[in-house]
Structure 1
Amino acid sequence: MNTIKTFLCLVYRNWFTRLNYIWVTCATLLLTIATWKLNNLIICGFIYGLCIASYCFNLKKGWKWFIVYGSFLTFFIVFYKLQINPWVSSKIFYVYEVKENYSLLKQGVNLYLTSVGESQISIGEFVKLTGESTKLVNNGVFWEFNFTDYLKNLNVIGEIKNPHFEICQFKFLRYLFYQVAMHQHELVKILIFQRKAQQELYKSMIHLNISWLLNLSGLLLYPIDYFIEKKLFKFNKTYKKYKIIPILVLLFYCYLLKFPVVMLKVIVVLLIKWYCYVKKFSMSRAIRMTLTWTTLLIFNPLYLFNLGLIYSFLAYFLLTKLSTAHWYKNLFLNFVLIFLLFAPLTLYAQYKLYFFDWLYELILLPFVHLSFLLSLVFFIPKIDVCYDLLVNILSTIVRAFEYGNISIVIGKISVIWFVLYYCGLISYIKLEFKTKRLQMLLLVLLVMLAIPVISTSRMKLMQNSVHMLNVGNGNSFIINYQSNVYMYDVGEGTGHSPTIVKTYFDYLGVTKVNTIFISHHHVDHYNLLESVIASRPVKKVIQNDNTITETAFGDLKVHIFNEYKNSDENDNSMVIIFETPSSKMLFLGDATSKREHRLVQDFRFANLVKRGIDFLQVGHHGSKTSSSEEFIKTIKPKVCFVSGEKKGKKAFPNFETIATLTKHHCQIYTTQGLYSYKFKIDSHQVNLIEPTFW
């Protein structure tokens, strides 16, 4: 046993003797930061112990990096894992970010959300703030931009409600910087001050998936560095020796912009190159990139959860230059390679493929470069005329691209497909084939991987189900039956995402909608209709003033009960029973107990529900004005879905309604502003709609 132990220790020690500790540090940082969202203390402790042990086998070589890792581990556990804030009692906060209707306040490394907007405070100020501190609550809407997740990835640890603040006299340099930004041209705000959110040009470029062109990334900064060093000061050794000065100026500019990661990465790369030049030693590309990633992770640990890190990894490992005898073939092949490399990441993030974004980037890039260079001299009088011209040119080009923008909605794809795809792409790029036939065969196999993409997403649409989305005190129900999609209401309550239905359709891979039924004309039941119609074809919209009583879509029968002359618009709700061979599903809109009483008296309705119903959309978000004892006893629902939450004066669902439903043995599922649910039409099972790894 001792011999085996000695042998293993010898092998392990020799392996670490040959290993560069920059790689070890980067790996241990990645493992440590990955525990940020892990709540199991035993597993976390094991990972930390394993990381520490990786340095102990050869401390003579790795002691410096061990000190770096040990310091980082202490800092990470205290401020990120345990979220300890030693300054919380001071009530003094630094204004880190300000938007139209909220701001982020900073104490140490921790951030807090508050409802104070840009009309009241500015970036760079200090405020004395009091209020009620609460934890951030996730709304469960994982298929689109999740504001809560976004905040958590910035290390926002809570929200201060009912804030009362007093602005302190002392201000940081950033305050002056952003005060200057307020009075600049739109183009300067976007490119120099990176204040993009409210600019129309930026919003248009988001729709084309090319908004990243406006970031201060290597795409803008490296060409400038190359021109200065290789053209202006090609034979000037003094500049190369003291290049640290412009790099530090760039670092100070990066500080004013709150250290955007894409810009900080460029600065770290430039610093490493300068240091290698001054010290006259070479560093491999792998070591340079590892050192860059290590620096970024130490500076901003939560960069690990940024999609930009994955882009960086892919670019390093897979991006290569393809060469042929003709320049135009080179240009085409290299942009196709970029598309093949990064398109799956867009598919992962947005559930769709953009086919010509690479072409749009190629056309816009020279104009963006020119705009950035001219924006650097924004202080020159009368230069706004040039900015107006450039904005008009860029806006015209982007509008033209929007007309020709071709994308295809795919839906959520299994991780297995991504693994297979990148394995195939790596083989195609890295392996050298003796014959073009083998190379062409691999390319065909790579293209054929698109078949599982389409089939996997379409399989979801073959699952007959009813989806209740978390839209607060609103109504948005999706009926998916035999690969056709229908909706009963398409609305959202105050404070919820206006794109929630559109992005959920993207997540499912829905390319068209058969019919949308609007129960009645209250905004929380139809205010998302236009966004859905604008995003994909909708065959028909049926309002509550129609005269249809019966219709059918294959073996999906639709029984409609209309009243549209009541003084109470809630009672004008279009009540529908969707009937399949295996289920009956009743949707009530906001119908009150008065309307329910008339439904019970209706012979056609009574005949349909005499054996009970399998699914009930509880009327009026579970209000006490609906779901009367008489009605629930008559329809005998098995599963009850309530779309509502307790928010302000609207506290849905009402406890009396819940008591009535419980009394009649109905399984109750409520969104509560947190959850979305799916009812399986054939099996009558209910599942929480949540993200899946596979």
Structure 2
Amino acid sequence: MKSGDYLNNVEVTAIKSTNSYLIVKYNNTYFYLNIFNNTHIVGQKFNISGTIGAIDSKQNFFNFDFQNYLWTQNIHQQVIDYKIDAIETNNIIFLFNKYIVKKFNNELIQKFIFHNYLPGDLKNTFNSLGISYLLNLSGLNIFLISVFLNKTIFRFKKNIYLKMVIDVFLFFYLFLLKFPLIITRVFFGIYINNFGYLKKIKISKITKNCIIIVLLVFVQPLFFLNITFIFLLVTLIFFDSKNNNSNWKFILINLLKATMIFIPLQIYYDWKWHVFDEFFQLLISPFVFVCYFLTFLFWWLPNVETFFIFLKNVLINYVHLFSYIDICWNIGHLSPFLIFLYYLFLYALLKYKKYLILRIAIFCSFTIFILFLNRLFLPEEILTMVNVGNGQSIIYINKVKHVTILFDVGNGQGFGKTNAADLLRYWGINDIDYVFISHNHEDHYNGINKIKEEFHVKNIIKRENTQSEWNINGLILKTFKLTKQKDENDNSRLIILMTGKSNIFISGDLTKVGEQQFINDTNFQKLIKSLNIDLMIIGHHGSKTSSSDDWIKLINPLYAFISGTDHNNLHFPNSETLETLKNNNIQYWISQNIHNWTLDLQTKSIFDLK
């Protein structure tokens, strides 16, 4: 089936359901449906009509790539302008999921037993420390459970067939959960171990992992595109499958080895490093296991909701204690070439067995060198208009002067509130010197909380601040504003950034009414005419209520950026504004929902950040 085809009242089955979308299956094809406040249940059947279209998430490259995530699940198409009607469903998967949704609304039970994430404090708390993977049914939990079972139920060989019965039960459990990747990987390991025990075959760790990879590809053909595949591959390459030493020195060395092996991958995917991540894992994992084990034992009992609420709150508060000593360092995007160099050097170092301290010292020096090379690739001085739809977020970075300034941190409708924060993490920024908020409209400040949460922000300048000039490590900022205007747009703080080589003019959402007041101000006129404005951020997303011909003639920029796009009933920029820019021979660049236009202030070149 191809884009443009029409589904006419066909029967589909839900295979995945979240709060914001539904994945359905028709014949052997999967479709994505965007549903706000979705309450449909996995296994449920529907009659659906609608047009098939390609999936286009229209997200920035530095945001979570939802489109790529769907592709790894073999979901390439969506149904748009659809009509969906539930029909009577009696299959076992639907009845099972209907029961657990109705019966169990606790985060611990949903996550630990049914592998579902409910939005809430549990997920957010673990995410804040970068350890959300501990909530997965991981190898650690399975290992501890296996130890418990082998020391009790499976202590005697006569219980060997009980293991087989439990294996069948586990497979049925996986079937009900639609074979989630992480749990499936762990249970495949259990099956292989039990098979080896039954047949009295010694299966090496590397052989077991290879078999697991093959089985996972069979269950999910695009598994090799998943991050789990990369971690498994690295494990196969670097960990010695023959050495099973369990003394404390060997365990500590293996912990250090695991840190050196997995941290680069974590940085590559998240662009940041929680320095005490491994330490937190050691202290939190046993507690998570206790919660998992208690949940596993008692989730099915009636009237235990109060107990699980208490258990969840204890877990959240315990984990939250570690946030007081958490140190998070934004490393930034690492190129695959540098990652390859890192692992090549690490592999050579691990193969050489002598002079441990010297090897660690050399390795640390080489790692610092790689981080230095990574920073070297960044431009010296840039200003980026972040793609935020009909909002405004402007980022200025001067690598030489170690200065980062944000001019507004807003996002338009249809965009998340993390765009500026995500791009700053991508660049490896940790400290922000100033954030200037032009005026009190949400599309110019609704990302500020995320900025304050993830970065050390030294100064936030709101439009109420009466100071008009700043010297930031040799950079001069002059600001101008009107006061007590009826239209909040006309209260916008105008900003002129003077770097010594370039001059940037930022207009906020000033309307033509406000523009005229500044045009009539002789002091303002005199200053503007004494400067050569290289770049102007056009006011109010290019609306026809801003950017009069007289105003554009006065500012007279070499280039212009416009943060705007067509979205719902908002059509930015307006053709009248574009005509004004053309008539004044000003080149302009529009974000248009896809572009992150960037000015290199050293070379005066403009490029799309991709």
- Cα pair 2:389 2:411 within 8 Å, conserved: yes
Separation (CA, whole Å) in 2 of partners of 1:227 and 1:290? 27
| Aligned match of 2:86 | 167
| Aligned match of 2:349 | 428
Deviations 1:186-211 (A, max 9, x none): 32112001222413112211111211
| Aligned match of 1:359 | 279
1:672 aligns to 2:589 (yes or no): no
| Aligned match of 1:473 | 390
| Aligned match of 2:175 | 255
Which segment is superposed worse, 453-462 or 411-420?
Answer: 453-462
Deviation at 1:521, TM superposition (A): 0.6
Letter in 2 for 1:589: G
Which structure 2 residues correspond to residues 477-488 of structure 1 after superposition, within 5 A? 477-481=394-398, 482-488=401-407
| Aligned match of 1:440 | 357
Which structure 2 residues correspond to residues 522-541 of structure 1 after superposition, within 5 A? 522-541=441-460
Deviation at 1:526, TM superposition (A): 1.0
SS class of match (2:560): strand
Deviation at 1:625, TM superposition (A): 1.2
Letter in 1 for 2:17: V
Residues 163, 171 of structure 1: alpha-carbon distance in 2 compared, 3 angstrom cutoff: farther
Separation (CA, whole Å) in 2 of partners of 1:460 and 1:563? 41
Deviations 1:418-452 (A, max 9, x none): 2232223223333333xx3xx32221111112323
| Aligned match of 2:145 | 224
- Cα pair 1:87 1:107 within 8 Å, conserved: no
1:381 aligns to 2:302 (yes or no): yes
1:578 aligns to 2:497 (yes or no): yes
Deviation at 1:658, TM superposition (A): 1.9
SS class of match (2:78): strand
Letter in 1 for 2:380: Q
- Cα pair 1:584 1:615 within 8 Å, conserved: yes
| Aligned match of 2:54 | 135
Which structure 2 residues correspond to residues 418-567 of structure 1 after superposition, within 5 A? 418-433=339-354, 436=355, 439-459=356-376, 463-481=380-398, 482-567=401-486
SS class of match (2:88): strand
SS class of match (1:91): strand
- Cα pair 1:461 1:484 within 8 Å, conserved: no
Deviations 1:376-414 (A, max 9, x none): 332223444543443233122101111111222211123
Letter in 2 for 1:477: I
| Aligned match of 1:65 | none
Separation (CA, whole Å) in 2 of partners of 1:605 and 1:310? 58
Residues 324, 251 of structure 1: alpha-carbon distance in 2 compared, 3 angstrom cutoff: closer
- Cα pair 1:573 1:590 within 8 Å, conserved: yes
Residues 466, 139 of structure 1: alpha-carbon distance in 2 compared, 3 angstrom cutoff: same
Deviation at 1:180, TM superposition (A): 2.7
| Aligned match of 2:113 | 192
Separation (CA, whole Å) in 1 of partners of 2:287 and 2:472? 52
Separation (CA, whole Å) in 2 of partners of 1:156 and 1:583? 47
SS class of match (1:169): coil
Letter in 1 for 2:130: N
- Cα pair 2:108 2:295 within 8 Å, conserved: yes
SS class of match (1:559): strand
Which structure 2 residues correspond to residues 603-642 of structure 1 after superposition, within 5 A? 603-610=522-529, 612-642=532-562
Deviation at 1:111, TM superposition (A): 2.9
Deviation at 1:621, TM superposition (A): 0.6
Letter in 1 for 2:584: H
| Aligned match of 1:20 | none
For 2:43, which of 124, 132, 136 is the aligned residue?
124
Letter in 1 for 2:384: H
Deviation at 1:680, TM superposition (A): 0.9
1:306 aligns to 2:223 (yes or no): no
- Cα pair 1:103 1:114 within 8 Å, conserved: yes
Separation (CA, whole Å) in 1 of partners of 2:196 and 2:565? 59
Residues 289, 577 of structure 1: alpha-carbon distance in 2 compared, 3 angstrom cutoff: same
- Cα pair 1:140 1:675 within 8 Å, conserved: no
Separation (CA, whole Å) in 1 of partners of 2:349 and 2:40? 54
Residue identity (%): 28
- Cα pair 1:122 1:175 within 8 Å, conserved: yes
Separation (CA, whole Å) in 2 of partners of 1:429 and 1:589? 55
SS class of match (2:85): strand
Deviation at 1:374, TM superposition (A): 2.4
Separation (CA, whole Å) in 2 of partners of 1:688 and 1:543? 29
Residues 453, 166 of structure 1: alpha-carbon distance in 2 compared, 3 angstrom cutoff: same
- Cα pair 1:127 1:168 within 8 Å, conserved: yes
- Cα pair 1:584 1:614 within 8 Å, conserved: yes
Letter in 2 for 1:263: I
Letter in 2 for 1:534: E
- Cα pair 2:534 2:559 within 8 Å, conserved: yes
- Cα pair 2:382 2:601 within 8 Å, conserved: yes
Deviation at 1:241, TM superposition (A): 5.3
Letter in 2 for 1:646: D
- Cα pair 1:545 1:562 within 8 Å, conserved: no
| Aligned match of 1:661 | 581
Which structure 2 residues correspond to residues 30-109 of structure 1 after superposition, within 5 A? 91-109=10-28
Gaps of 5+ in 2: none
Separation (CA, whole Å) in 2 of partners of 1:83 and 1:449? 50
| Aligned match of 1:31 | none
CA RMSD of aligned residues (A): 2.8
Deviation at 1:454, TM superposition (A): 4.0
For 1:318, which of 210, 219, 238 is the aligned residue?
238
Deviations 1:346-367 (A, max 9, x none): 1111111122222222222222
Separation (CA, whole Å) in 1 of partners of 2:149 and 2:458? 58
| Aligned match of 1:390 | 311
- Cα pair 1:322 1:330 within 8 Å, conserved: no
* Structure with more of its chain in helix, by fraction: 1
- Cα pair 2:9 2:48 within 8 Å, conserved: no
| Aligned match of 1:412 | 333
| Aligned match of 1:7 | none
Deviations 1:498-520 (A, max 9, x none): 12222221111111111111111
Gaps of 5+ in 1: 1-81
SS class of match (2:333): coil
Separation (CA, whole Å) in 2 of partners of 1:389 and 1:315? 37
- Cα pair 2:436 2:461 within 8 Å, conserved: yes
- Cα pair 1:457 1:508 within 8 Å, conserved: no
Residues 83, 189 of structure 1: alpha-carbon distance in 2 compared, 3 angstrom cutoff: same
Which structure 2 residues correspond to residues 334-345 of structure 1 after superposition, within 5 A? 334-345=254-265
Separation (CA, whole Å) in 1 of partners of 2:242 and 2:494? 62
Separation (CA, whole Å) in 1 of partners of 2:192 and 2:132? 29
SS class of match (1:113): strand
Separation (CA, whole Å) in 2 of partners of 1:652 and 1:154? 35
Letter in 1 for 2:609: I
- Cα pair 1:472 1:672 within 8 Å, conserved: yes
SS class of match (1:114): strand
Letter in 2 for 1:633: K
Separation (CA, whole Å) in 2 of partners of 1:224 and 1:518? 53
Letter in 2 for 1:397: Y
Separation (CA, whole Å) in 2 of partners of 1:521 and 1:215? 42
- Cα pair 1:421 1:446 within 8 Å, conserved: no
TM-score normalized with structure 1 length: 0.81
TM-score normalized with structure 2 length: 0.91
| Aligned match of 2:510 | 591
Separation (CA, whole Å) in 1 of partners of 2:557 and 2:74? 44
> How many pairs does the alignment contain?
604
